Amino acid sequence: MLTIAQIREGLARPGKSQKGLAAAMGVDTSTVSRLLAGKRPLRAHEIPVILGYLEAGSAAAGGGRCRAMPEIVQIGGDRFAMLPVYDAMVSAGPGAEAEETPPATRIAFRVDWLKRVARGNLGDLVVLTVDGDSMEPTLRQGDSVLVDMGQQRPGQKDGIYVIRTDGGLQAKRVAVNPTNGRVSVISDNKDLYPAFVDLSPAEIQVIGRVIWLGRQVGT
């Protein structure tokens, strides 16, 4: 159960305020003041809204875009973020078109686990589906991948990234040469798919880093 002490602790973080919480809840600031003073009960339907506001990251410095926070639900003593799952296919082959569409569904991830594996705002996390075989055996056709769109600088951490090309979205290993900043885009299925090396960073658009995959076993 969310406590008043936890709400006070959350409001003490940078970028949080009673006014902001009131706006998120759709009430006036006096209602929040009474809630924090113990003069008003905390209603069950308000808990996900309050958690969502307290967990939301601040907009990035320099005017970066802050995406909408996923709904936070509390089950027993655990908090879960309902992350969006999109129909967009992430090609692990020649490339697949992807459009900006509403999420097809949502999937629950524990908030404490997400905070360990992600870099920042939970609103930067989306789930996409792999299409193709160029990243086998690491990624296979139909795999679900959790993508952190807050991680768009492969030079800070090599790994598997979703990149945008002329053909759409692709999942590839992206590595940056530390001496000259040139980029390599590599497929794990090296026998069938060549690597592209010595690219300028301007030649690729990084969408985010793959930080988790889920796979169906059997049919």
pLDDT of residue 127: 92
Task: Please indicate, yes or no, if residue 74 is contained in any of the structural domains.
Answer: no
Task: Please indicate, yes or no, if residue 4 is contained in any of the structural domains.
Answer: no
pLDDT in tens, the chain (219 residues): 678 888 998 898 877 889 888 888 888 899 999 999 999 998 877 877 787 788 765 433 333 444 567 888 888 888 898 898 887 677 655 444 444 567 788 899 999 999 888 877 888 899 999 988 999 999 999 999 999 988 888 988 889 999 987 767 899 999 999 899 999 999 999 999 999 999 988 888 898 999 999 998 875
Task: Give the chain's domain count.
Answer: 1
DSSP for 65-103? --PPPPEEEEETTEEEEEEEEEEEEEESSS-B-------
Task: Please indicate, yes or no, if residue 3 is contained in any of the structural domains.
Answer: no
Residue from 99, 105, 66, 104 nearest 82 by CA = 105
Task: Please indicate, yes or no, if residue 18 is contained in any of the structural domains.
Answer: no
Domain that holds residue 96: 82-214
DSSP for 123-177? GGEEEEEEESSTTTTTS-TT-EEEEETT---TTTS-EEEEEEETTEEEEEEEEE-
pLDDT of residue 133: 92
Task: Please indicate, yes or no, if residue 189 is contained in any of the structural domains.
Answer: yes
Task: Please indicate, yes or no, if residue 158 is contained in any of the structural domains.
Answer: yes
| CATH code for the domain in which residue 141 is found | 2.10.109.10
Task: Please indicate, yes or no, if residue 23 is contained in any of the structural domains.
Answer: no
pLDDT of residue 16: 86
Task: Please indicate, yes or no, if residue 102 is contained in any of the structural domains.
Answer: yes
